[in-house]
Amino acid sequence: MGINMRKEELPKVLAVYLPQFYENEDNNRWWGKGFTDWESVKSAEAYFSKHHQPKVPLDHNYYDLSRKKTMERQSEMAKKYGIYGFCFYHYYFKNGKMELELPAENLLKWKDIDLPFCFNWASEPWIRSWSKISGNVWTERYENIGEALQNGILAEQDYGTYNDWIRHFEYLLPFFRDERYIKIDGKPVFIFYSPNDIRPLNQMAECWRKEAVSAGFPGLYLIGAHLDIPNKYLDAAMIYEPRNSIDILNNEGEAELRNGVRCFDCQKIWTALLRSEPLFGYKTYFCGVSGYDDTPRRGQSGEIIIHNSPEVFEENLQKLMEKSIRYGNEYLFINAWNEWGEGMYLEPDMQNGYGYLEAVKNAANHVSDFSKAYDSLPAYSETIRKEISSLSYNASKFRHLFQIVDKWLFLEQERNVNFSNFFKSENISSIAIYGMAALGKHLLLQLQKEAFPATFGIDRYVGQYGNDFVIYRPEDDLPETDAIVITAYDTAAITELLQCKFSGKIYSLEDIINTMMKRNIQRSEKENER
């Protein structure tokens, strides 16, 4: 069967939506009276020539999301420019504590606002990551005594057990029942922003699906973003941008330092974004990005996408729409509608007017014409999709291996950096190595060369390497050691396994090498400053 997608059948565009633009009690307590994300936006600084900061909304419209007319205007703009709906960040914490829930709850009440929506659960703890902000109540109270004491945590996350999951579902149910809530095959769509962090995800998903059926739905449609490993309890995956592509460019050494700020070329971001393939044989939704600049929140420690414009966005968004059509995706995500503090927004501003919204509309019009050209091409069969995904997974795995080895050789040969110094800086006297394939073998040899004790290995294939270096199976009881270093590819799943039986520190080899690389760059910059 060929692909012949009419305009009304193009992937529906969903814009990620940040509800951090109204005064609330916790923000007042943590950051100072009247704080919203507009405060960090207004106080932004330009760190180099042609760094466009601060961002200013068109007509200086620093709106209040608690007001109905604001959401009415947003809904009208979205519809006019081809945005089908909003994907609201959902903040739900330990013991049912909520944050920034008012805009979604108001929308539930305001039935006359025609705005399809769904939820994206940002399921991490709420931490003080906006390090640029100072001189407010929170920092006056905690800045000096410490993150060591409070660990920067504002709202704790705990995924709880069965009764907690039921309570969370009961909160979500009125939204799911709303006619505007986005559904696939009658199933409410719900996105897990960080599924890898949710240990009881499988049990929670099973519980929620049963509750959804009991409530009269055919089930739930669960999407995992930032997915590291396959999970049969999820219906689909989502490649979240620009984080995915920024990480790729970082690993490929494509970051450019401008006055200490890490910058990434916009077209390179889109090139990395467009070459991404479905994950693990899953139905995979793609995500475009309007821009990125989180220096309003993080100062010079932030990251920026440079050389972006409505024209570049339109050209590449069209390609991403075309790609979504080829994979039969009903939806395409854009990050974001209004993430002003991270430079990701479609809303009009003083620099580009309605340029990014016009770009969405124009891209859809161009794609409507493009789709007809595919009428004579065979559609991707499920078998081909799985084969492509398998090849993509292996390609990612070996690209990951190459990048680690490349950085490792650079550090050793060009900078004379070694692992023993890293471990000593972490107060670690001995380690075990998880994964005794190529990387694990080379790490063992390197540590033996540096006279640093690697006490044992962990691998599915047990044996003895000589010099009394014993290999344990992952399911075995493990001897004591200060830390475990994971050299295998599926780090998240392995970490979860180890945390159930090992109380010491757990590192991935990639994170160690990246940390060593970062420290080396910082040291070089300080030396150059002298």
DSSP secondary structure of 119-169: EEE--S-EE---TT--SSHHHHHHTTT-HHHHTTEEE------HHHHHHHH
Mark which of 347, 374, 401 sits at the end of a domain: 374
Percent of the chain with pLDDT strictly greater than 90: 61
Res. 403: pLDDT tops 80: no
User: How confident is the model over 279-295, as pLDDT tens digits?
Assistant: 887 899 999 999 999 99
User: How confident is the model over 23-42, as pLDDT tens digits?
Assistant: 999 988 888 889 999 999 99
Which residue type occupies 447?
A: L
Res. 130: pLDDT tops 70: no
Residues 421 and 446 in one domain: yes
Residues 357 and 505 in one domain: no
Which residue range is the domain that position 447 belongs to? 389-529
**What is the number of H-type helices and E-type strands within the chain?**
18, 23
Please give the pLDDT value at position 1. 27
Mark which of 374, 408, 425 sits at the end of a domain: 374
More confident residue, 463 or 228: 228
> Rounded CA gap, 239 and 226, in Å?
6
Q: Categorize the per-residue pLDDT at 146 as very low, low, confident or very high, splitting at 50, 70 and 90.
A: very low
In a domain, 131, yes or no: no
Domain count of the fold of the chain: 2
Residues in the chain: 530
More confident residue, 9 or 244: 244
CA angle 290, 197, 342 (to 5 degrees): 25
**How much is the average pLDDT of 116-138?**
72
Res. 487: pLDDT tops 60: yes
Please give the pLDDT value at position 392. 59
In a domain, 485, yes or no: yes
Please give the pLDDT value at position 404. 82
Res. 138: pLDDT tops 70: no
Residues 436 and 313 in one domain: no
User: How confident is the model over 84-111, as pLDDT tens digits?
Assistant: 999 999 999 999 999 999 999 999 999 9
Residues 255 and 334 in one domain: yes
Residues 358 and 442 in one domain: no
Please give the pLDDT value at position 2. 32
In a domain, 458, yes or no: yes
Please give the pLDDT value at position 221. 98
In a domain, 439, yes or no: yes
**Residue 43 near residue 36, CB atoms below 8 Å:** no
Which residue type occupies 355?
A: G
Percent of the chain with pLDDT strictly greater than 70: 85
Residues 354 and 446 in one domain: no
Residues 327 and 476 in one domain: no
Q: What is the mean pLDDT of the chain?
A: 87
Residues 353 and 415 in one domain: no
Residues 334 and 265 in one domain: yes
Nearest to 423, CA basis, from 457, 439, 446? 446
**How much is the average pLDDT of 151-168?**
89
Residues 253 and 337 in one domain: yes
In a domain, 122, yes or no: no
User: How confident is the model over 343-378, as pLDDT tens digits?
Assistant: 999 999 999 999 999 999 999 998 876 555 444 445
Residues 304 and 449 in one domain: no
- Residue that has been written with the tokens 């540590």 in this structure: 447
Q: Which of 58-67, 144-153, 220-229 has the highest mean pLDDT?
A: 58-67
**How much is the average pLDDT of 186-211?**
95
Residue 456, domain CATH: 3.40.50.720
Res. 503: pLDDT tops 50: yes
Answering whether pTM is above 0.75, one says no
Residues 245 and 364 in one domain: yes
Please give the pLDDT value at position 135. 42
Please give the pLDDT value at position 402. 78
Mark which of 310, 340, 374 sits at the end of a domain: 374
Q: Are strands 187-192 and 183-184 parallel, antiparallel or unpaired?
A: antiparallel
In a domain, 468, yes or no: yes
More confident residue, 78 or 504: 78
**How much is the average pLDDT of 470-493?**
87
